[in-house]
Structure 1
């Protein structure tokens, strides 16, 4: 685990937050898990039609979880969030490690934890080009489209069916478009996604089938497309908008579009986010911010950001949430982990970090306070979210 000494900046910011990220109050002293009396909780300040979520790993739930004596991680998770996304536990390599083997132990732990703490669960993910087990990546080059469909249909029906009634939103198709900087530009990943590759003659047909199988397995779950670099109106989201129309025209039960919102201070903020969410909502879809974090480039040898960087990070978190609040079809806002102790960022983006809303010791950052304030302000006079 990466540890650092908190700077004067962080200590000062944390002291200024009179609403702590966790801690026992008189109202919840006898309740070890969620209490709706806790006004310092993001989940309690959110409009009733907006789930406030975070990602977590199943092993964090499995480690000696005792509702009467939760770990600090479990305590914060239960108090602050109304939705949980299994960060890895529902991906192919976790739940379907061999052709005839399904392993739901870790994913079941997430669902059990959520149930115990009055939380919803977002399913993630059913069709992706990454984190597939070896038996998929090795066999996919020889599959016909029909063979690929048989494998995918069995997986979707089995996984979605296992969690029927437990998942309110499913990321069915994840990161299925290439980027402008990839070879060939923005197009469906028929080169890397094993199922789209096998069905390259009609990849939209495969996607329509995937949504249909998921819907038949759990008619109540809202089914999403999900991707990064999908916040504003750009070439990639134009492609998603066109795909959404094609899927809807084919009668596919597409229900939502998710923008991951993995942001970095190395790049600007796309102010067309709200307009992008609105155009997908106009198709009759739910929209969501599904994996938000805002990473900060750190100087060599430094572990903490400058005051200016902290201010910019706070503004971007707030802008993400405000765009969601302003679009009534935005059904969930999820941060990708809430503590730097468990963030994926330093391992994947060398030289960047400090990306979540609390530090490694669960001390809230100014971004947390900004999110809490924005949720409190989502009243009928400011936002149509509450009535």
Structure 2
């Protein structure tokens, strides 16, 4: 299969790139151009894809998605001490129907995943997370999705998919590959009580904006367990973005969203990362720069990945057993990175999704609370999901 759906990076962006210093990031990328075609993807670890689709935005009024401003400022940044090769594969244009765009994106991501290349998707409306998720149908039997968003986007799954209802489609449409869904930075007043109750009933994870801002490190174990990370720019507070992008006076600030992107990059499991709901406007330098820095920090995180396999490498891990009533909780701590995991037991009498013991990323605080007789909430929810 080939990348038939990708159009090259615009000549305007390439002309801008020619003027940059040789040390600039744009000079280090493998770029899909009209003149040279698709680059060789051998040894490429990360591939940027733009998707110019926003027709399923509930507020769609005919506006076009424009990503050149993001590329210009991204190319102008300087790379870190990176060892990974990055490619910019250009854009997927709007299809005749939105479903055509979905098919193109799903197919493209599937090819990249098969090549062990991490796609970084730039959108476009956040419903593009749905074809991103569907790209895993033939790749991974259980998929964990993390959304950085002020809303849950459950919506009414009986209606056609929109950017505020794509999660409902992911949950209810076959094949059922979703194991866990987590929302980072949700704001209660943007979500109905029925949606909040449903998240609890499904044992999904939801972290309020206040929790995240108080302790950004709680995001790390959530990201460590994610396959797909989807960032809605509406989760960022209005003071951090340009006029067209403003959504709420409350939200994540620039440092927090970049820290979250880096946590996503560091995760060995995250294999696709998307930034959505970009609203271009004239003289929009601030939002474009923020998106560029989000991508930069994700790539930085990927370059900081440390391979760890707790269950097959007992020498480099400390094991802790904690008794709480009739439950024995087993924790592991990496001697290499200091990261923690908790074991989720296999339930042999239940037709669950786990076929063996598995490990759930957690924090040191979870272990400390367990020693005080409190069962960690992440462990409880994962255990209950496997009891269905």
Between the two structures, name the one with larger relative contact order (CA 8 Å, sep ≥ 6).
Answer: 1
TM range (shorter): 0.3 to 0.5
Structure 1 length as normaliser, TM-score? 0.35
- Identify, as 1 or 2, the structure richer in strand: 2
TM-score (norm 2): 0.35
